[in-house]
Chains A and B, each alone.
Chain A
């Protein structure tokens, strides 16, 4: 099993979710996160006092899938989250050792 973790622009979340659903992905975890990469932060001005924020708001999507599906998941996220601009985000892929469905105790790919 693989964990596909994608950091994407917030407004791309719906596109990514639809793309993954069409691949048969039945669940995902989404969090609001902040971070920085090459994209510059924003400048906020309050009564003339300027604050530059380095941290940019992003969405983190985490999906666990079986090994065969992983390349298509990565491809789908990459296509759906792409706007062509700096700050589109990153995809990380990790090996997953085990998965357990809490209600039934099922393990492995059947738990996904």
Chain B
């Protein structure tokens, strides 16, 4: 695999411009050793990345937990909160044990997953460093480990919405461990692993598969949202519909909780998207404002669709639109411009609305909380849209050429059709890899442990039957 033009955004620009603005500084050092890296750490970057990691945790607990919890019936409230809480906790352990190593160490000639050299965080300590997107800018490795950990926590938690109210708790936790190991860590490796801007020039094939295709995914459109969304759909199909679906009404039990959860997601998402720049610089600001305005546009857009279609704009619609906007801007956050982000936000809501309000009913799958309709579809719109909005001709940030040292920027070389084609390939790859891989894992667990509680347990509600408690005692 060769790198003709392997690129990853304008992040390098700031590092470079800083160097250019300070000619007194020595020329950038290629392949610095750990001692040199220690002098290339910026306290502002470190502070921002630690805050970002905490913000992404807040997206899962309590954000996502409340967003989902409010949408289920009273008798299943705690089951959803508990599933999200426990998935987050288990994922943190798995991440330290082997997740980080599989995702972020070199796989050598294998571009699908990394090795086990850093399993149990072996060799990672206070004197090791992780690369950013700028030449000669480093993060303490633990900061990078914990930031990426929060992504491994939220992604499997997203899936549970698709089969909420009807899954066996113990089986779900085993599924999550397997899914992280065989689907998520390899996906993260394929999309996000690369040798880094100071090393790639010497080892041009040392990167994950999709990264080497040139696929752009700033904060996890493919790795997080399409990945979780398709795994959710496959799960909803294999577990089957809830008892009584679709005849029995299953309205949300507390849209107040859902609004609180969605709002926490929005706030936390700044850590997710702007944090994904790995530095605190101008591109971080670009990702931040894009995340803000795409969400505004998608919330307005969903409400307009409902106003026209039903004559009433609902709160649930507005917050669902906001989440769709956040999903869509995720892969594009650091590449787009604010006004193109707004266009992306306006476009994503009607598309997700069609899937949630029409396609689901027509096809007849029971994606309880619309994980597929919002996260997978929104993720696909965002991933493909990224190929368009990243174009410098549209005010986008373009992409950097890391095959030379220091990284170079050729805005005129950006081709929208070529990039969109790469994005489409990345989307199709993710759908197939995660869809088929998840199906195999569900199948194995269904045949061994069983995926579904008994019908009686489901009718009684998972709070009592799985956890022995009630959400509301009054």
Q: Which chain A residues have a beta carbon within 8 Å of chain B's beta carbons?
A: 44-49, 51, 53
Q: Which chain B residues have a beta carbon within 8 Å of chain A's beta carbons?
A: 246, 249, 251-252, 309-310, 312, 314, 316-317, 320, 353, 356-358, 361, 370
Question: Can you list 11 A-B contacts with CB-CB less than 8 angstroms, sorted by A residue number?
Answer: A45-B310, A45-B312, A45-B314, A46-B314, A47-B316, A47-B317, A48-B358, A48-B361, A49-B357, A49-B361, A51-B251
- Chain A residues positioned under 8 Å from B252 (CB to CB): 46
B357 near A48 with CB under 8 A, answer yes
B251 near A46 with CB under 8 A, answer yes
A47 near B251 with CB under 8 A, answer no
Give Cα A44–Cα B314 distance, bound, in whole angstroms.
10
> Which secondary structure characterizes the binding site on chain B?
helix
**How far apart are B218's CB and chain A's nearest CB, in angstroms?**
28
Give Cα A51–Cα B245 distance, bound, in whole angstroms.
12
**How far apart are A91's CB and chain B's nearest CB, in angstroms?**
31
- Chain B residues positioned under 8 Å from A46 (CB to CB): 251-252, 314, 316
Q: Which one of A45, A48, A51 lies within 8 Å of B353 (CB-CB)?
A: A48
- Chain B residues positioned under 8 Å from A48 (CB to CB): 309, 353, 356-358, 361
- Chain B residues positioned under 8 Å from A53 (CB to CB): 249
Give Cα A45–Cα B312 distance, bound, in whole angstroms.
9
Name the CB-closest residue of B to A43.
B310
Name the CB-closest residue of B to A47.
B356
Going nearest first, the 9 A-B pairs with the smallest beta carbon separation are A48-B357, A51-B249, A47-B356, A45-B310, A51-B251, A46-B316, A46-B251, A48-B356, A46-B252
B357 near A47 with CB under 8 A, answer yes
- Chain A residues positioned under 8 Å from B249 (CB to CB): 51, 53
**How far apart are A19's CB and chain B's nearest CB, in angstroms?**
32
Extra pairs beyond A46-B252, A47-B320, A48-B353 (15, CB < 8 Å): A45-B310, A45-B312, A46-B251, A46-B316, A47-B317, A47-B356, A47-B370, A48-B309, A48-B356, A48-B358, A48-B361, A49-B246, A49-B357, A49-B361, A51-B251
Give Cα A45–Cα B361 distance, bound, in whole angstroms.
14
Name the CB-closest residue of A to B370.
A47
Give Cα A53–Cα B248 distance, bound, in whole angstroms.
11
Name the CB-closest residue of B to A48.
B357
- Chain B residues positioned under 8 Å from A44 (CB to CB): 251
**How far apart are A41's CB and chain B's nearest CB, in angstroms?**
11
- Chain A residues positioned under 8 Å from B314 (CB to CB): 45-46
**How far apart are A107's CB and chain B's nearest CB, in angstroms?**
35
- Chain A residues positioned under 8 Å from B309 (CB to CB): 48
**How far apart are A32's CB and chain B's nearest CB, in angstroms?**
14
- Chain A residues positioned under 8 Å from B316 (CB to CB): 46-47
**How far apart are B53's CB and chain A's nearest CB, in angstroms?**
32
**How far apart are A71's CB and chain B's nearest CB, in angstroms?**
40
Q: Which of B249, B312, B356, B358 neighbours the largest number of chain A CB atoms within 10 Å of its CB?
A: B249
- Chain A residues positioned under 8 Å from B357 (CB to CB): 47-49
**How far apart are A40's CB and chain B's nearest CB, in angstroms?**
16
**How far apart are A63's CB and chain B's nearest CB, in angstroms?**
28
Give Cα A44–Cα B310 distance, bound, in whole angstroms.
11
Give Cα A47–Cα B358 distance, bound, in whole angstroms.
10
Give Cα A46–Cα B314 distance, bound, in whole angstroms.
8
**How far apart are A83's CB and chain B's nearest CB, in angstroms?**
23
Give Cα A55–Cα B252 distance, bound, in whole angstroms.
17
**How far apart are A4's CB and chain B's nearest CB, in angstroms?**
31
- Chain A residues positioned under 8 Å from B320 (CB to CB): 47
